[in-house]
Chains A and B, each alone.
Chain A
């Protein structure tokens, strides 16, 4: 039994350091009384209870878990992205990618903690921050899997210069996404919790919808007239929703901001417009990130999944000519050829424009007077300018 109690005693004593300072004495108190407890199962039970308490208190303080989870996720991403033949520019890009993203995510977290405080003490903020970081890392992982072959010879038809330029743009975009995620989930966030909630939920729904309508970045093709018409109708509806959802999110956030403003407080329209723009920004950011992650991951697994290849061959219009041209030579890589072009030309643009379009639509939605069909002001730029310059609501 002492073989069990001795390491448990050591574990309890060491793990007490993980408990936030205000509650650390309780873990030390359990350890201090270990000798009082009769040896054997009773003492082991006492120690196990102590370890459970330290884990619970440490988790409540959120001290070790988030940094540890971040380090583990970055290590797993690096381990996956690192492999490849030496001298290959695609592999070099992937390695730079992982290192740069790790530095960006950790560095921005440190900077924004000083500017806007730690993560807000709310479940929503923690979920959005953790999910946002996980999505950025997942995108890096999927992108590295795609580019490992797509940017490697003989598929790198555009040359390494274009690949490096795309990489630089990608890193800048990801840094912007991380900054938005961190700032909006910080204790002194410029966005109200309701603004972040409505924007994030709307954005994720839009992203999933866009993915379902074109999982590989191409419009789908259907053989029969009814499936084709149904798909065309779904596409039209999806386009309408993509335009309306950020507007509605902006309007909902502005109305919520108006309700939460203290009675007698002035400048309500400006604050509402800012919350609307921020809801649209959340919406566009979440939508672009969701569709980019899902589609890039699908492209990454395409060459290894014959059922998916078969489905793609029958439903993607641009697919067949590429198959006809390159199948004899590059069959396993054909997914990457198509996928890389889709990623470079499509998802990077989506990632660039999604947040901008979302904030513009959100700000416009916030200006729409409830009950009126005409917008109060048709130019969203004053609100966006205020958001970009000051970044803080008046309330």
Chain B
């Protein structure tokens, strides 16, 4: 990673949400809740991250009772490195939130 990665503010917020617990698998609505992004904005970002090999996705292994299986996401090692580098260049709020391991919404609520 030699140069500054090109990510939009929304993508950075998604990366920050995924960076909060890099080893844990997260589902789309949880990320949407954390970032405040609508599904129509969030999922194109997730698709791009997956297409670029920065994020991996899988379906829940077992069929839970009363709801469909969720699609789960987490950063790949390359994605984690890119996200860390990108968040290091990011504006202070996102940077601070990444260090603290907080998503933007959580950070805002902490500030409030």
- Closest approach, in angstroms, between the C-beta of B94 and any C-beta of chain A? 23
Chain A CB count within 10 A is highest, among B38, B39, B42, for: B39
Contact between B39 and A36, CB atoms less than 8 A apart: no
Q: B43 an interface residue at 8 Å Cβ cutoff? A: yes
CA distance A50 to B28 in the complex (A): 12
Contact between A29 and B40, CB atoms less than 8 A apart: no
Task: Identify whether the interface residues of B are mostly helix, strand, loop, or mixed.
Answer: helix
Residues of B within 8 A of A49 (CB): 38-43
Contact between B28 and A30, CB atoms less than 8 A apart: yes
- A32/B68 contact (C-beta < 8 A), A45-B39, A46-B39, A52-B40 known: yes
Contact-residue bracket for chain B: 20 to 34
Per-residue interface assignment for chain B, residues 26 to 46, with 1 indicating a CB less than 8 Å from any chain A CB and 0 otherwise:
011100100000111111101
Q: A33 an interface residue at 8 Å Cβ cutoff? A: yes
Q: B4 an interface residue at 8 Å Cβ cutoff? A: no
Q: B99 an interface residue at 8 Å Cβ cutoff? A: no
Q: A26 an interface residue at 8 Å Cβ cutoff? A: yes
Q: B47 an interface residue at 8 Å Cβ cutoff? A: yes
Contact between A56 and B70, CB atoms less than 8 A apart: no
- Closest approach, in angstroms, between the C-beta of B45 and any C-beta of chain A? 11
Contact between B71 and A28, CB atoms less than 8 A apart: yes
CA distance A37 to B29 in the complex (A): 7
Q: Which of A46-82 contact B (CB under 8 A)?
A: 46-50, 52-53, 56-57
A52's closest neighbor in chain B, by CB? Answer: B40
CA distance A57 to B46 in the complex (A): 13
CA distance A49 to B42 in the complex (A): 9
CA distance A25 to B46 in the complex (A): 12
User: Which A residues are within 8 Å of any B CB, using their own CB?
Assistant: 23, 25-26, 28-33, 35-37, 45-50, 52-53, 56-57
